[in-house]
Amino acid sequence: MSNYSPLAFVEKLSFVRYGGTPAEKKAADMILADVEAAGGKGELMPFQIAASTYTSHVTKVIAPYELEIATVPFGMCGNVPAPGKDLKFFYAEEGTPRDFLGKDDLSDTVVMVNAVTLDVYKELCKRNAAAIFAIMGKYYHNNDEAGMYSRNLRPKFLEQGVIPTFYINAHDATELVRNGAEMIHIELEQTDGEATSHDVISVIEGTEKPDEVIVLTGHFDSLPVGPGAWDNATGSAALMGLYHYFLENAPKRTLYFVWCGTEEQGLLGSKAFIEQHAELVEKNIKFCFNFDMCGTVLGPNNIMITGDKNLEDFVDAFCREVGYSAKTRVGVHSSDSAPFADKGIPGIGLSRGTKTSEIHTCRDTMFPLGEEALKANICFAAQMISRVANSVILPVDTGMPESIKKELDKYFQRTK
């Protein structure tokens, strides 16, 4: 790993690479080329994702004044073909039942809410809302700064029904309410379909226990509003650094390196890997290390522990042993280790956070990142993974405690 520069890798990968687009495929090809340049072998694993082809949309105030509104429609949310609909406007704040007192039928209304959660969406479906405006950002943000982009309605939402849904930035949302908007004209045309995303996979065979597998994950896709340097070119860079290290230091157990595509649209790459490697997941994979957002100059190291008390004790003892300062938390990591945890595979999420930067906006750029900070994260990960991969007995068995199972049910929206 001596000639590998993780920051140079991050810079090379820092371009918009939204899941299912040609740019994401370009990023996957770049990662595969680096795997092969390091002396390894890899492959692209294609999988299909939902996608909408956007044609056009119109959202404008028509009473008591006229004003075009710069909204961004969700994908998979249906159509309001021309000539469109003229709808009443209602601001429902949190979108809870108490915000709809006396408004049981909203079939002639566009409802604006502070955020579209699954519970809010269910409430709006129950009341037959004609359309939804969801507020994004702060009043001083433009659309890019607010992180507004067209994203698909998730399957759990679509199970409730299909409502045309749009993002509106906080400045324009404030103006609608303050200026007493009463009627909104809406048109929306888009076509639902599929696109192809990819995982990049490479395997380093174990020297003594090849049938016991540790999977190392990190997503390489970004959102369409920024270069995604911190989230998550850095995690991809950490994986590549570890790949270099373990090519030179073969472990006793097999390592699967999985650069996941389309994480930002619902962990789709890790879910696809599990679906396409069901037998491997069930019989062989014993542990998961996930890398999501590393290498910031400022901020603490973070370790997310998804497993039982034995795993928590192992992490604490190991950090003390090697002198690594980190904030630890037990729970579900909202990243590509979560689908593995849902299959009973213990996991450790390694990251580095900061309050001085942003993700999911145009400001997720190179500046807050540092070569030495990235290398320190990689060095610690190499030590911990080596300890696990070369241990006589793994530090924990597969399986999840009941508390984590309940958290997984909530995370994957299987319970209220």
* Lookup result for tokens 């992490």: 315
CA distance readout (Å), 359 to 66, 94, 134, 294, 296: 35, 24, 19, 12, 12
| Three-class SS state of 305 | strand
The predicted-structure confidence for 20-61, as pLDDT tens digits, reads as follows: 999 999 999 999 999 999 999 999 999 999 999 889 999 999
Q: Are residues 328 and 353 in the same domain?
A: yes
Domain CATH number, residue 101: 3.50.30.30
Strands 109-113 and 131-136, bridge-based pairing? parallel
Structural domain includes residue 123: yes
Whole-number Å distance between alpha carbons of 272 and 55: 29
Amino acid identity at 150: S
Helices (H) and strands (E) in the chain, counts: 12, 14
| Rounded CA separation 175/135 (Å) | 12
Specify whether the CB–CB gap between 293 and 351 falls below 8 A.
Answer: yes
Is residue 261 within 8 Å of 221, Cβ to Cβ? yes
Question: Do residues 177 and 98 both lie within one domain?
Answer: yes
Residue 408 structure tokens: 């997984």
Q: In terms of domains, do 241 and 201 share one?
A: yes
- CATH number for position 295: 3.40.630.10
Which of these three, 124, 152, 181, is where a domain ends? 181
In terms of domains, do 98 and 146 share one? Answer: yes
- Boundary of a domain, candidates 132, 147, 181: 181
245 and 161 both lie in a single domain: no
223 lies in some domain: yes
| 261 in the same domain as 121 | no
Residues 233, 260: one domain?
Answer: yes
Domain assignment of residue 87, yes or no: yes
209 is in which domain, residue-wise? 6-50+195-411
Q: How far apart are CA 333 and CA 330, in angstroms?
A: 9
Token duo for residue 268: 């789709």
Within a domain: 59: no
What is residue 150's predicted lDDT score, i.e. its pLDDT? 87
Q: Which of 172, 170, 200 is nearest to 184 (CA)?
A: 172
- My answer on whether 220 and 350 are in the same domain is yes
Instruction: Specify the number of domains making up the chain.
Output: 2
Say if residue 97 is exposed, middle or buried (CB neighbours under 10 Å; 0-12, 13-18, 19+): exposed
56 located within any domain: no
Which pLDDT belongs to residue 2? 66
Please state, in angstroms and rounded to a whole number, the distance separating the CA atoms of residues 278 and 173.
46
Which residue, of 181, 208, 225, is where some domain finishes? 181
Nearest CA to 45 out of 30, 21, 25, 23 is that of 25
Q: Identify whether residues 145 and 214 lie together within a single domain.
A: no
How far apart CA 239 and CA 138 sit, in angstroms, is 34
∠ CA(413), CA(50), CA(71), 5° rounding? 85
**Model-level pTM?**
0.94
In-domain check, residue 374: yes
Q: Got the DSSP string for 309-362?
A: HHHHHHHHHHHHHHT---EEEES--SSTTHHHHTTT--EEEEEE--SSS-SSST
Q: Per-residue pLDDT tens, the chain, 416 aa: give them.
A: 568 999 999 999 999 999 999 999 999 999 999 999 999 999 999 999 999 988 999 999 999 999 999 999 999 999 999 999 999 999 999 999 999 999 999 999 999 999 999 999 999 999 999 999 999 999 999 888 888 888 999 999 999 999 999 999 999 999 999 999 999 999 999 999 999 999 999 999 999 999 999 999 999 999 998 899 999 999 999 999 999 999 999 999 999 999 999 999 999 999 999 999 999 999 999 999 999 999 999 999 999 999 999 999 999 999 999 999 999 999 999 999 999 999 999 999 999 999 999 899 889 999 999 999 999 999 999 999 999 999 999 999 999 999 999 999 999 999 75
Residues 264 and 142 in one domain: no
Nearest to 259 by CA among 281, 237, 274: 237
Say if 190 falls within a structural domain. Answer: no
Evaluate whether residue 262 is within a structural domain: yes
Q: Are strands 109-113 and 80-91 parallel, antiparallel or unpaired?
A: parallel
Instruction: State whether 262 and 314 are in the same domain.
Output: yes
Do 210 and 174 reside in the same domain of the chain? no
